[in-house]
Amino acid sequence: METTRSMVSFDWAMKRLLRNKANFEVLEGFLSELLRRKIIIKSLNESEGNKSDKENKSNRVDILVEADDRELVIIELQFYGQDDYFQRMLYGVSKSISEHLQQGKPYSDIRKVYSVNIVYFDLGQGDDYIYHGTTVFIGLHTNSQLQLNAKQQQLYSATSIGDLHPEYYIIKVNNFNDVAKDPLDEWIYYLKNNKIKDDFTAQGIDRARSILAYEKLSDVEKFEHDRLVEEYRNRESEILTAFTDGEFKGRTEGKMEGKMEIALKMLKKGISIEEICELTGLSKQQIVELSESRFS
CA angle 228, 230, 231 (to 5 degrees): 65
Taking CA atoms, 143 is separated from 132, 136, 150, 226, 247, in Å, by 21, 11, 21, 54, 50
- pLDDT of 50: 46
CA angle 128, 59, 63 (to 5 degrees): 80
CB 60 within 8 A of CB 78: yes
CA angle 199, 202, 203 (to 5 degrees): 135
Q: Which residues contact 188 (CB under 8 A, 6 or more apart)?
A: 129, 130, 171, 173, 176, 180
- Please, which contacts does 187-190 make with residues 24 or more away whose CB atoms are closer than 8 Å? 187/29, 187/30, 187/33, 187/34, 188/129, 188/130, 190/7, 190/10
Q: pTM above the 0.75 mark?
A: yes
- pLDDT of 295: 57
- pLDDT of 49: 44
- Considering only CA atoms, which of 201, 207, 199, 180 is closest in space to residue 4? 199
- pLDDT of 128: 96
pLDDT tens-digit series, residues 268-293? 777 778 778 877 778 888 888 877 77
Domain ranges of the chain: 4-216, 219-291
Q: What is the DSSP string of 241-272?
A: HHHHHHHHHHHHH-HHHHHHHHHHHHHHTT--
CA dihedral over 102, 107, 111, 115, signed as positive or negative:
positive
- pLDDT of 244: 58
- pLDDT of 278: 73
- pLDDT of 166: 97
Q: What is the mean pLDDT of each run of 10 residues along the chain (296 residues)?
A: 79 89 95 96 72 46 87 91 86 93 89 95 91 97 96 91 96 95 97 94 95 87 79 64 53 60 78 78 82 68
pLDDT tens-digit series, residues 113-160? 999 999 988 888 899 999 999 999 999 999 999 999 999 999 888 989
